[in-house]
Each structure stands twice: as C-alpha cells, then as structure tokens.
C-alpha cells in the first residue's frame, strides 16, 4: 500500500489508509504501508518509511514541490521491498501514489489499484497552489488524465468521485468502483460521560458544537468562523470545540473578531482520543465545500451519535441521506440558522442522534467495506 503522505498524522486521508489496511487484514490480507518519513506508526500495520529528510516537516494537507523528491524516494523504498515481500497487488493512494505504482507495476508484474480521493488539479487550485486558468493547471490536468489511465482498477471515496472520473476525465465505467469511507463503530460510539468538558473548561450545561479535521480555507474553516460570528450577533449561546491543525491563524482571527469565548481550539488531536472529545459535544458541523471529495469526519460524527449540520453537497447527501441537517451550499448564515435550530430543539437533537448512529452501524462499518475491497481484489487476475 503506497501512501505518499506523512502518514499517520490524524487526518481524514490517513484514517482511510489506516482503516482500509485494518479491514483488509481482518479479511486475511497481509499489508505493508510504504510512506514518508514523517508521521507515526499505528498498531497492527507494518509501516515502511523513506529515509529521514530533516528539512521537511509539513504534516498538514496540500501540495508541495518537495513531494517530487519525496515520491522518488518512496518509489525506491517500495521497489526494494518487492523482492522480499513479493506482493500480489499494489494499492496506491492519491495520484502521486498511482504514478509511482505504475512503475512498480511494470517492475513487479502485479495489478495496480488506485485509491482516488479527489482531483489532483482541483486540490492544487483549491489550495491556491496555482490558478485555474494557468499553464501549470493545464499541465497538471494532462498529467492527471494520464495517471487516471495507469491503474487496473480505481476505487473512489464517493459516488460523486466516480461520476467525475467518468464524465469529466473519460474513465471507463467498468474500471471504477465506489468504496466510500466508513468508521469503526466500536471505537467511535456514543459516550454520555462529559468528563472532557471539564478538562476543556466548557460549562457542563453549554451547547457544544464539534468540528474535527484540518483547519484551512479549503476545508471551510473561514466559513465556520463567519457562522460563529453570525450566531454571536443573533444572541445564540454556543461553544465550538474545534479540533484540528494548524490552528494559529484561526486563533488569531477568532480573537480579532471577538469570538474567543465561543471557541475552544484543541490543536492536533490523536485519533485514539477523538471519540472522547466528540463525546463532549451535542452536535457536529462540517463546512467542507468540495462537491466530489470525500468527507470522512462525518462518519466519525455519526458513529458517536452526533446530529450533523453540513452543506448540501452530493458527497454529504450520499453519506448522511435523510439523517443530515443541510444548509444552503456555501452560506454561512444558513449554516448558523441550522445550528441555532438544533440548539433550541432538544427533541430533534435526540431523534437525529439515534438516526445517525443507526445508519453508521447498519451502512457505514469498515467491516463491510473490507469485504467489498476484497471483492475488487479478487476481480483482478492476481499472480
């Protein structure tokens, strides 16, 4: 399993990698994750890393020119592993992984599965790496189209991603299988003990809204601050538990806006501690705007029995269905209105909490996703 990222760094892409590997091992597969030098090893999954690069320490998501040589090192590390491990299949995450995986496929003669989590070009544009109309964007679109053709099979983290590959990138339908994210519903579960509130300085009777994930404009954090400011103007008393990184800019901005009393920033949260912190909340929010990229935090919210307020996008609809509370796309005022509505309606909160937990258990467990991924593997002619 190729992971061209600083795995594990307690964010959505890494959770998918880890949980897929765990689910595959429960199905009898032997998995090795080959990744960057950064991050930490998690139990049960052997992790092989490139040599230490002292000047590169970026853990947050987003493109970087440094990845050019990091990915070259990743290729050589994986290539050296092949003779001893003798893999039956290469499972590559992200476009960089699929690019590296293509050459490893040629070297080893085994099939390549590409784990697609969104457009490479779109991500670079959304992160401000280059402009949508720039020559660089045109070059990246050409490279992305080429990489999409490298794999024997593509799995996507959402049905919207599958549709985008077929309609916008010309990938044949039979080469793509949706494998949306999931959650371990035993680890992430409702925990009525609110002991974490006291540790965070949150009043026991406060109405708490949780956010868990990377903090960036791309993830909608700026809109979330707009939403909180609107709630303050409307006289709605709420405490926002914002769990993620990098938090420095948003701490400064919240202070400038006079929102300090309404927000608790935790910084980076260990994946193992996330269920405890989520248990301190009454509802959860996700302001992510991408219409096709996965939104893995929703699964954790649902499994913990938290009503979820989200923008109305195909990805969010696919995961939440009728159990979600939807705000108009990109509208911070409407996001605030939906949160205010739940704040004043404890009966609705209780109903949504029950519905989302049940849906997580019945439809979104990693056990069922592991079985589906095994079927994808078996459909390829393995050596």
pTM of the complete model: 0.81
Specify the 3-state DSSP secondary structure of 127: coil
Spell out the residues 6+ positions from residue 13 whose beta carbon is closer than 8 angstroms to its own.
5, 61, 93, 94, 117, 296
More confident call, 117 vs 322? 322
- Asked if pLDDT for residue 335 goes beyond 90, the answer is yes
Average pLDDT over residues 210-214: 95
Beta strands in the chain (DSSP E): 2-3, 33-35, 47-49, 90-93, 112-116, 153-156, 176-178, 208-212, 239-243, 263-267, 283-286, 308-311, 325-327
The residue among 279, 206, 219 whose CA lies nearest residue 245 is 219
Read out DSSP for 74-96? HHHHHHHHHHHH--S-EEEEHHH
* C-alpha distance across the termini of the chain, in Å: 17
Confidence of residue 18 (pLDDT cuts 50, 70, 90): very high
What pLDDT digit, counting tens, does each position of 349-379 carry? 999 999 999 999 999 988 889 999 999 999 9
Distances in Å between the Cα of 173 and the Cα atoms of 165, 167, 323 are 9, 9, 29
More confident call, 11 vs 182? 182
What pLDDT digit, counting tens, does each position of 42-59 carry? 988 999 999 999 999 988
Predicted pLDDT of residue 383: 67
Q: What percent of the chain has pLDDT over 90?
A: 78
The residue among 303, 291, 286 whose CA lies nearest residue 221 is 286
Q: What is the chain's mean pLDDT, rounded? A: 93
Average pLDDT over residues 267-281: 93
Average pLDDT over residues 207-212: 97
Distances in Å between the Cα of 249 and the Cα atoms of 117, 243, 265 are 27, 14, 11
- Asked if pLDDT for residue 127 goes beyond 80, the answer is no
What pLDDT digit, counting tens, does each position of 160-188 carry? 889 999 999 999 999 999 999 999 999 99
Confidence of residue 122 (pLDDT cuts 50, 70, 90): confident
Confidence of residue 196 (pLDDT cuts 50, 70, 90): confident
Confidence of residue 118 (pLDDT cuts 50, 70, 90): confident
Q: Comparing 17-31, 112-126, 212-226, which segment has the lowest mean pLDDT?
A: 112-126
- Asked if pLDDT for residue 195 goes beyond 90, the answer is no
């Amino acid at each position: 399993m190729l992971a061209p990222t600083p795995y594990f760094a307690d964010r959505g892409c890494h959770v998918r990698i880890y949980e897929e590997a765990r689910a595959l091992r429960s199905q009898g597969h032997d998995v090795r994750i080959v990744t960057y030098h950064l991050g930490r090893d998690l139990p049960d999954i052997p992790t092989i890393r490139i040599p230490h690069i002292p000047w590169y320490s970026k853990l947050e998501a987003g493109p970087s020119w440094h990845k050019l040589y990091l990915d070259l090192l990743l290729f050589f590390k994986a290539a050296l592993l092949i003779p001893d491990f003798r893999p039956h299949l290469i499972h590559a995450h992200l476009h960089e992984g699929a690019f590296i995986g293509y050459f490893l496929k040629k070297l080893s003669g085994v099939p390549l599965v590409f784990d697609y989590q969104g457009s490479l070009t779109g991500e670079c544009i959304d992160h401000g790496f280059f402009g949508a109309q720039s020559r660089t964007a045109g070059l990246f679109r050409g490279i992305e189209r080429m990489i999409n053709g490298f794999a024997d099979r593509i799995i996507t983290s959402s049905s919207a991603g599958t549709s985008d590959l077929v309609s916008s990138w010309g990938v044949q339908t039979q080469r793509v299988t949706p494998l949306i994210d999931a959650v371990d519903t035993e680890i992430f579960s409702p925990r009525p003990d609110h002991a974490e509130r006291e540790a965070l300085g949150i009043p026991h009777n406060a109405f708490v809204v949780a956010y868990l994930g990377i903090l960036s404009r791309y993830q909608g954090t700026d809109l979330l601050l707009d939403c909180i400011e609107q709630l303050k103007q409307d006289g709605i008393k709420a405490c926002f538990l914002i769990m993620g990184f990098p938090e420095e800019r948003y701490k400064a901005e919240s202070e400038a806006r006079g929102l300090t009393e309404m927000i608790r920033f935790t910084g980076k949260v260990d994946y193992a501690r996330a269920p405890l912190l989520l248990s301190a909340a009454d509802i959860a929010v996700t302001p992510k705007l991408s219409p096709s990229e996965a939104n893995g935090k929703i699964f954790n919210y649902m499994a913990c029995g938290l009503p979820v307020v989200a923008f109305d996008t195909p990805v969010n609809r696919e995961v939440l269905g009728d159990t979600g509370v939807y705000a108009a796309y990109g509208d911070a005022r409407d996001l605030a209105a939906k949160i205010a509505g739940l704040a004043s309606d404890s009966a609705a909160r209780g109903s949504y909490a029950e519905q989302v937990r049940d849906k997580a258990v019945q439809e979104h467990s990693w056990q069922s996703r592991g079985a589906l991924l095994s079927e994808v593997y078996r459909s390829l002619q393995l050596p």
